[in-house]
């Protein structure tokens, strides 16, 4: 890693980007004042932290471009033990997060096209196709991601990430480090903990080689502690939504979860959630809700339909229905308490192995049942996405169980995370409207 590159990175981090983003913020502020666009009648006061979030995430993406050559860059899956990489000063980029951004900007199909031309089936996960498309020359709306020096993959969210990262490893000719987390269908057994902890310890040697740094256990423990605090803070943020009216919606949470996914273990993420938590608590005190009139409270299951985020938000909000909880956003807080910095490897096995998608449907049912109670939920909407089999396969049975055992209204919609070709607007809208009517 060259000294010049490092100096360039430091310049952009400490001076270049703050100035650039400051100017950008000012321009947007002026533009908003000039436009004087009125918020929709149903919307409560906006969350002010949104501007800070935009700045943090823009910095993260823009800085990534300057990180290449200055420090090792790792592409990691969302459920990876990123704390270990942070201890080695490795810059992390989350292709899934990038996939979500592409979906939200409605360029999923264009981004996937080069992958499909290279022979990857349209039946594959659309996040993977976007990412492989990027490797094959697709133009990202956030510019090019920095070329990775290594890949870190964890199988706790799905096996798909491994098949996908295997292709990236071959394409970029870089090492693929794997943290394999066996599926847990009951309690976490000792031999499973030892398998996971053993793998984490084995990651140290290649990371030392790639980063040129010696493993510093004290630093690692500090990062683990900070990651734990950040995830717990995110949990607190989600808990504020138990209030009536809810100070934010799940659609807001989908956006505000970006730091806990992408920047977990860094001070900037922790600070952000401290600020967001303060704001949301203030909103609760003032009675400021995400909706002016909150009539129904809903639970969302699965990843967002990113290309329909705004439209779904409006569609539900116009009927006074607000998504107040989601299994997806909860996943980054659910196991945070299991982290123990005095025993980082074994405790990480629990924290990473026991996440929702790595467990059986009984666990998911019990978790959702608790969320239904804690968040005073009136109905559940399940997004059956072609791109995520571990999240989607089993939803039909879960839905029936919610109706039969809890008497709660449940709707399953068929769509995709980023690929609108797997989404039928008319039938979906009709089903949503019928569901909303049934809540009244």
Partner 1 sequence: MNRRDSMAAHSKAQGKVAGVFPGRYPREVLEAMGILPVEIWDPPNPPHKAAAHLQPFVCSVAQRGLELVLQDKAIVDMLLFPHLCDTMQNLFTIVRDILGTPLPCHTFYTVRNQSTAAALAYVAEQSRALARAMQPLAGAPCTEERLATAIEDARAATEGLNGIYRARADGRWNGTNQAFYAMVRQREFLSSRALAATLNEALRCNQSAPQDEHSVRLVVSGVLPDQSFLRLLDERRVVVAEDDYLACGRRFLRASRPDNPMPPFETVAWEQLHLPPCSTTASPVEQRLEFIVGLVRHSRAAGVLFHNVKFCEPELFDHPFLVQGLKQLQIPSMILESELHQQHAGQFETRLDAFLEMI
Q: For binding to partner 1 (CB under 8 A), which residues are involved?
A: 118-121, 123-125, 128, 155, 158-160, 162-164, 166-167, 169-170, 178-180, 182-183, 185, 189, 191-192, 194-195, 198-199, 202, 360-362, 365, 384, 386, 389-390, 392-394, 396-398, 401, 414
Contacts of 24 (CB under 8 A, 6+ apart): 58
| CA dist., res. 109 & res. 133, Å (int) | 10
CB of 338 to partner 1, least distance (A): 20
CB of 220 to partner 1, least distance (A): 19
Return the number of the residue (138 or 336) whose C-beta is nearest partner 1: 138
Residue 245: asked if its preceding bond is cis (omega within 30°), the reply is yes
3-state DSSP assignment of residue 293: coil
CB of 261 to partner 1, least distance (A): 20
And the tokens for 320? 């006074």
CB of 201 to partner 1, least distance (A): 9
User: By the 8 A CB rule, do 436 and 316 touch?
Assistant: yes
Residue 308's CB is within 10 A of a number of other CB atoms, namely 21
User: By the 8 A CB rule, do 217 and 258 touch?
Assistant: no
Pairing type for strands 379-385 and 409-415 reads parallel
CB of 42 to partner 1, least distance (A): 33
Return the number of the residue (2 or 187) whose C-beta is nearest partner 1: 187
In the block, residue with structure tokens 């490092």: 6
Instruction: Give how far Cα 379 sits from Cα of 252, 298, 345, 402, Å.
Output: 19, 5, 39, 10
Return the number of the residue (23 or 206) whose C-beta is nearest partner 1: 206
Return the number of the residue (313 or 428) whose C-beta is nearest partner 1: 428
And the tokens for 59? 């910095």
| CA dist., res. 233 & res. 13, Å (int) | 25
CB of 430 to partner 1, least distance (A): 19
Return the number of the residue (17 or 128) whose C-beta is nearest partner 1: 128
CB of 128 to partner 1, least distance (A): 8
Return the number of the residue (24 or 414) whose C-beta is nearest partner 1: 414
Return the number of the residue (180 or 225) whose C-beta is nearest partner 1: 180
3-state DSSP assignment of residue 383: strand
């Amino acid at each position: 890693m060259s000294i010049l590159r490092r100096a360039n990175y430091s310049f952009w981090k400490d001076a270049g980007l703050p100035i650039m983003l400051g100017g950008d913020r000012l321009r947007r502020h002026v533009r908003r004042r000039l436009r004087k666009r009125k918020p929709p009648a149903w919307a409560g006061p906006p969350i002010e932290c949104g501007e800070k979030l935009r700045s943090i995430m823009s910095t993260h993406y823009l800085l990534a471009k300057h990180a290449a050559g200055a420090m090792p860059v790792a592409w990691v899956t969302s459920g990876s033990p990123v704390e270990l990489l942070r201890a080695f000063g490795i810059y992390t980029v989350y292709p899934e997060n990038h996939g979500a951004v592409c979906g939200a900007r409605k360029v999923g199909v264009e981004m996937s096209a080069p992958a499909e031309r290279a022979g990857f089936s349209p039946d594959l996960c659309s996040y993977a196709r976007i990412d492989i498309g990027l490797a094959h020359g697709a133009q990202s709306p956030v510019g090019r991601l920095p070329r990775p020096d290594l890949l870190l993959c964890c199988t706790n969210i799905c096996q798909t990430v491994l098949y996908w990262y295997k292709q990236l490893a071959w394409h970029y000719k870089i090492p693929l480090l794997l943290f394999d987390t066996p599926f847990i269908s009951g309690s976490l057994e000792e031999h499973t903990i030892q398998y996971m902890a053993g793998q984490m310890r084995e990651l140290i040697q290649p990371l030392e080689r790639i980063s040129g740094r010696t493993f510093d256990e004290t630093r690692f423990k500090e990062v683990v502690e900070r990651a734990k605090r950040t995830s717990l803070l995110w949990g607190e943020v989600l808990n504020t939504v138990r209030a009536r009216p809810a100070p934010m919606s799940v659609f807001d949470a989908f956006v505000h979860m970006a730091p806990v996914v992408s920047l977990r273990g860094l001070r900037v993420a922790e600070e952000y959630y401290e600020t967001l938590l303060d704001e949301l608590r203030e909103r609760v005190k003032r009675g400021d809700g995400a909706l002016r009139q909150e009539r129904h409270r809903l639970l969302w299951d699965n990843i967002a339909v990113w290309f329909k985020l705004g439209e779904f938000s409006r569609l539900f909000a116009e009927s006074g229905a607000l998504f107040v909880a989601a299994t997806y956003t909860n996943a980054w807080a659910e196991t945070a308490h299991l982290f123990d910095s005095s025993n980082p490897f074994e405790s990480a096995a629990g924290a990473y192995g026991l996440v929702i998608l790595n467990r059986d449907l009984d666990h998911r049912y019990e978790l959702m049942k608790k969320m239904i109670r804690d968040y005073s939920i009136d109905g559940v909407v399940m997004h059956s996405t072609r791109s995520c089999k571990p999240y989607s396969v089993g939803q039909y049975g879960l839905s029936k169980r919610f109706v039969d055992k809890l008497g709660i209204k449940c709707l399953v919609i068929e769509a995709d995370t980023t690929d609108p070709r797997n989404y039928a607007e008319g039938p979906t809208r009709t089903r949503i409207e019928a569901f909303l009517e049934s809540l009244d």
